[in-house]
Chain A
Amino acid sequence: MEELKKLAKELLENKTVAAVIGYQQVDDKRTKPIIVTTPEDASKLVFNEYCLNNLAVYLTKARIKNLAKQNGTTLKLGIVAKPCDIHAIVALIQESQLKREDVYIIGMNCHGVVKDYGMDFSGETLATKCTPCDSHKPLYSDSNLGEVKDTPKVSDEVLEKIQAVEKMSHKERFEYFKKEFDKCIKCYACRAACPLCYCQRCITDKTVPRWVESSPHSRGNFSWNVVRAFHLSGRCIGCGECERACPMDIPLSLLNRRMTETAKQAFAYVSGRSLDTPTLVGSYDVKDSDELFM
Chain B
Amino acid sequence: MDEKIISKQNLVNFCKDIVANGHNLLAPGKTEYNLIQDPSEIVLDTKSKPTKASYKTFVFPKAEPILYYKRGKNDVVMLDAKVDEKKTVIFGAKPCDTNSFNILNKIFNWDYKDDFYNERVKNFIVIGLMCEYSDRYCFCTSVGSSPVSEKGSDLFLVPIDENNYAVRIVTDKGKEFIGAYSKYFTEGAPEKSKAAEEKVKQPEVAFDSKQVHEWLGKNFEHPKWDGVGDLCLSCAQCAFVCPVCHCFDLVDEDYSYTEGRRMKNWDGCQFGHFTLHASGHNPRDIQGKRYRQRINHKFKYYVDKFDEILCTGCGRCSRGCAVSIDIKEIVANCTD
Contact = CB atoms under 8 A, between A and B. Distances in A.
B305 interface: no
- The listed residue with most A CB atoms (<10 A of its CB), out of B30, B268, B273, B323, is B323
A27 B326 CA distance: 13
A188 B322 contact: no
A32 B324 contact: yes
Interface stretch (A143-151, A239-247, A275-283): A239-247
Chain A CB within 10 Å — which of B135, B226, B231, B263 has the most? B231
A187 interface: yes
Interface residues of B, number: 39
B230 A63 contact: yes
B235 A188 contact: yes
Given A27-B136, A33-B324, A214-B249, A247 B63 contact: no
A232 interface: no
A198 to B, nearest CB: 11
Nearest to A245: B322
B251 interface: yes
B69 to A, nearest CB: 16
A interface, over-half SS: mixed
Nearest to B233: A192
B234 A192 contact: yes
Contacts of A185: 53, 57, 62, 240, 266
Interface residues of A, number: 37
A111 B135 CA distance: 28
A172 interface: no
Contacts of A241: 322
A136 interface: no
Interface of A: 26-27, 30-35, 53, 57, 61, 63-64, 117-118, 183, 185-189, 191-193, 205, 213-217, 220, 241, 244-245, 247-249
Contacts of A245: 235, 237, 322
B63 A220 contact: yes
19 contacts: A26-B326, A32-B231, A32-B324, A33-B324, A34-B231, A35-B231, A53-B323, A61-B230, A63-B286, A117-B324, A188-B236, A189-B322, A192-B233, A214-B249, A215-B63, A216-B266, A245-B237, A247-B240, A248-B31
Nearest to B238: A187
A185 B60 CA distance: 13
A187 B239 contact: yes
B266 A248 contact: no
B85 interface: no
Nearest to B271: A188
Contacts of B268: 187
Given A189-B233, A189-B237, A215-B265, 17 more contacts: A31-B324, A34-B231, A53-B322, A63-B230, A63-B287, A118-B135, A185-B57, A186-B266, A188-B236, A192-B235, A214-B249, A214-B251, A214-B265, A215-B63, A247-B237, A249-B30, A249-B31
B253 A193 contact: no
Interface in B117-165: 135-136
A205 B273 contact: yes
Contacts of B53: 185, 247-248
A63 B272 CA distance: 14
B97 to A, nearest CB: 15
Given A64-B230, A185-B62, A191 B235 contact: yes
Given A183-B32, A187-B237, A247-B53, A216 B265 contact: yes
Contacts of B286: 63
A277 to B, nearest CB: 29
B322 A244 contact: yes
A247 B249 CA distance: 21
Contacts of A213: 251, 253
A57 B322 CA distance: 11
A27 B231 CA distance: 19
Nearest to B286: A63
A119 B57 CA distance: 30
Contacts of A215: 63, 251, 253, 263, 265
A105 B251 CA distance: 44
A249 B52 contact: yes
A183 to B, nearest CB: 7
Which of A30, A244, A248: most chain B Cβ within 10 A?
Answer: A248
Interface string B246-262: 00010101000000000
Query: Which of B136, B233, B234, B263 is the most central at the interface, judged by chain A CB atoms within 10 Å of its CB?
Result: B233
B241 interface: yes
